Structure 1
Amino acid sequence: MAGRKINPWLKLALEFGPVLAFFVAFTRFKDAHVILGGTSYGGFILATALFIPLMIAATLVLWRLTGRIAAIQIVTLVLVIVFGGLSVWFNDERFFKMKPTMIYLLFAGVLGFGLLRGTSYLALVMEEVMPLEHAGWMILTRRLAAFFAALAVLNEVIWRTMSDQAWVNFKTFGLTAAVFVFFMAQGRLLQRYGIKDGEKDG
C-alpha cells in the first residue's frame, strides 16, 4: 500500500534529524560528565540517551504523516532501542558503536540469502520506484550486499581503532556519503537495465 506524500524536506528532517541531534549533543557534551545514582555518565552516553527517544518520536511522526514505515526503518529503530538501551543501561558505549555493524550485517545477510534462492529481496521493496529487469536487480543486489558487508567491517575498524569523535563523524556523515556515492555509481547499471514506462505497460 502506497503511503501518503509529505514535504520532502520534512521527510528528510525526520529521517536524519535524530542523527544530526546525536552529533550536536556529542560534540557539545563529549567532555562532560553527569553523576546519576552514584554513576558517572560521559558525553557519549548522554548523547545516546537523547538519540533513542528522538529516533522513536521521529519514526512515529513519519508513520503518522505517511501512513507507512519501511521494513528497514523498523529494523533500524529496534536495533537503536536495543543497542542504545544496552549502552545507557550498562554505561558502555561499545554496544551503540556496534549497532551499525549489526544493521549492515543483517541487511547483507538478508540480501545474500535471497540471492542464494535466486531472488532479489531488494526488488520486492524498491521495484515500484525503480523498475529494473530481473538481471539488473540481481546485479544491484549482489553489489549492495557486498557494500553492506564492507560497511560493517569498516565500522568495526573505525570504532575499535579511532577516537569517539572520529566514529561519530563517520556515523553522521561518512555512512550517509558512502550510501549516496554507491547509488550514484550505479547510474550505468540503471540505464542499461531500467524499464521504460511503455515497456512496463507492455
Structure 2
Amino acid sequence: MKFLFDIFPVILFFLTFKLYDIFIATAVAIVAAIAQIGWLWLRKQQIEKMMWINLAIIVVLGGATLLAQDETFIKWKPTVLYWLIASVLLVSSLVFRKNLIKLMLEKQIVLPVAVWDKLNLSWTVFFLLMGAVNLYVAFSFSVDIWVTFKLFGATGMMLVFIILQVMVLGKHLKPMPERIQTVNEQDNLIEKIDNKAGKK
C-alpha cells in the first residue's frame, strides 16, 4: 500500500498524459505531490525528507516546464532526483563516514560492516545509472515512450534491483538480538508447559 502511495503522483502523471498532454500532466503531478504531503500532514504522520526533496524538484522543474511550455525541464526531473540521492549517499560515506543505507535499515537487519559498505555503494551506482537511463530514454525516444518508461520501466527496474539485493543479502543476514531473545523465551515457555503436562 505504501508503494502505491509513493508512486501516486507518477501514476496520475501517466494517466493525465494519456488523456491530455505533457503540460496538464505536469500540473497534475505537482498538485499530486503537494496533496501527498498534505495528506500525511493532516494525519500527523511522519513526512520523509525525500518527499520534501521530490516536491521541491517537481515544483521547480515542473513549474519551469509550464512557464516555458518546454517539456525538457520535466524530463530532467527523475535524473536530478536520482543523481541527488546518489550524491548524498556517496558524500555521506566518503566525507562524513556515515552509511545512510545502514542508518535506515540497521533496525531491521544485521550485516557485517563490509556488506553495509557494498550495499551503500551498490545503491549509489544504481541511482547514477537510473539517472543516465532516464536521460537516454527521454531524449532518444518520443514523449509518449518516456512517460510510459517513467511509470513502468523505472518502477520495474527499482523492483528488480530490490529483489536482487534481497537475494544477495540473504546469506549475510543475521537474526536480531531481540528476535533471538523472543524465540528463546517462546522455547522456554513451551518447554515449561511440556514439563508440567508430563508431570500431570
TM-score tier (shorter) = 0.7 to 0.9
Contact 2:109-2:175 within 8 A present in 1 as well: no
Contact 1:14-1:59 within 8 A present in 2 as well: no
Partners in 2 of 1:55 and 1:124 — Cα distance?
Answer: 26
Q: Structure 2 counterpart of 1:125, which letter?
A: M
Q: CA deviation at 1:78?
A: 1.1
Q: 1:188 to 1:199 in 2, by over 3 A?
A: farther
Query: Partner residue of 1:33?
Result: none
Partners in 1 of 2:3 and 2:166 — Cα distance?
Answer: 23
2:6 to 6, 15, 27: 15
Q: 1:94 to 1:87 in 2, by over 3 A?
A: same
Q: Structure 2 counterpart of 1:161, which letter?
A: S
Contact 2:58-2:77 within 8 A present in 1 as well: yes
User: Are 1:115 and 2:106 matched, yes or no?
Assistant: no
Contact 1:119-1:138 within 8 A present in 2 as well: no
Q: CA deviation at 1:151?
A: 0.6
What TM-score do you get using the length of structure 2 for normalisation? 0.82
Query: Partner residue of 1:151?
Result: 130
User: Are 1:101 and 2:79 matched, yes or no?
Assistant: yes
- 1:181-196 counterparts in 2 under 5 A? 181-196=160-175
Query: Partner residue of 1:5?
Result: none
Q: 1:15 to 1:130 in 2, by over 3 A?
A: same
Q: 1:92 to 1:136 in 2, by over 3 A?
A: same
Q: Structure 1 counterpart of 2:10, which letter?
A: V
Normalized per residue, the structure richer in helix is: 2
Contact 1:105-1:148 within 8 A present in 2 as well: yes
Question: Could you give the per-residue CA deviations for residues 177-198 of structure 1, whole angstroms, max 9, x where no partner exists?
Answer: 1111001001243223323122
Question: Could you give the per-residue CA deviations for residues 2-38 of structure 1, whole angstroms, max 9, x where no partner exists?
Answer: xxxxxxx3x3443222211111110111xxxxxxxxx
1:58 to 36, 54, 78: 36
Deviates more, 1:100-109 or 1:57-66: 57-66
Partners in 1 of 2:176 and 2:24 — Cα distance?
Answer: 50
Query: Partner residue of 2:118?
Result: 139
Q: Structure 1 counterpart of 2:54, which letter?
A: T
Q: Structure 2 counterpart of 1:24, which letter?
A: L
Paired-residue identity, %:
30
Query: Partner residue of 2:152?
Result: 173
Partners in 2 of 1:91 and 1:155 — Cα distance?
Answer: 20
Q: Structure 2 counterpart of 1:164, which letter?
A: V
4+ residue runs over 6 A deviation: 199-202
Contact 1:135-1:193 within 8 A present in 2 as well: no
Give the root-mean-square deviation of aligned CA atoms.
2.0
Query: Partner residue of 1:24?
Result: 15
Structure 1 unaligned spans of 5+ = 1-8, 30-42
